[in-house]
Amino acid sequence: MNALQTKYAKDIKAILAKYPEDEKRSAVMPLLYVAQREGGYVSRQDLADIAEIIEVTPTEVASIVGFYTLYHDKPEGQYRVQVCNDLPCAMRGADAFLQGVCENLGIEVGETTKDGLVRVEAVMCLAACDKAPMFQVQDCENITYYEEQTVDSTIKLVEKWRKAGAKKK
């Protein structure tokens, strides 16, 4: 039994029970979610552990992490603000919104704030073109959607996270 199986035995068993034995590679995405739930990213060891569980190579597992914006291979930001800026959203102001948020946070797109709290990323299609500018926020436990946003409303949200973090200390 590897480290991931030891730590999340019950969760992994429940996930694998949903798939036929000869199709357990299909469990890769839920297993990745379990692996990154606590720290917000999937470590190299987690990749190897998942690969062992579903009997594929670590490279095959890593290719899933590299393709989907829901999985991350390094710790960057407690909150990942993923702004949709594909063409329909851009036509509703997403590019200007994205730049405005980054300017207010003192970062570039794809960077993390100095306090490590927020990473801002541009992503394609979050299925809410008619409600742009919009973004999804990933933290270690949830994905939350925010539609019809302004730079001001977004910065207020970040300040709320900062205050909540300060209270925890």
The CATH number fitting domain 3-67, selected from 1.10.10.1590, 2.60.120.260, 2.60.40.10, 2.60.120.620: 1.10.10.1590
- Which residue ranges make up each domain of the chain? 3-67, 79-168
Whether this prediction's pTM lies above 0.85 is answered by no
Question: Is the CATH code 3.40.30.10 the one for domain 79-168?
Answer: yes
Domains 3-67 and 79-168 share a fold: no
What residues have CB less than 8 Å from 40, skipping those under 6 apart?
Answer: 72, 75, 77, 78, 80, 138, 139, 140
- Counting every residue written for the chain, the total comes to 169
- Show pLDDT as tens, one digit a residue, over the chain (169 residues): 899 999 999 999 999 999 999 999 999 999 999 999 877 899 999 999 999 999 999 999 999 999 988 898 988 889 999 999 999 999 999 999 999 999 999 999 999 999 999 999 999 999 999 999 999 998 877 889 999 999 999 999 999 999 987 666 5
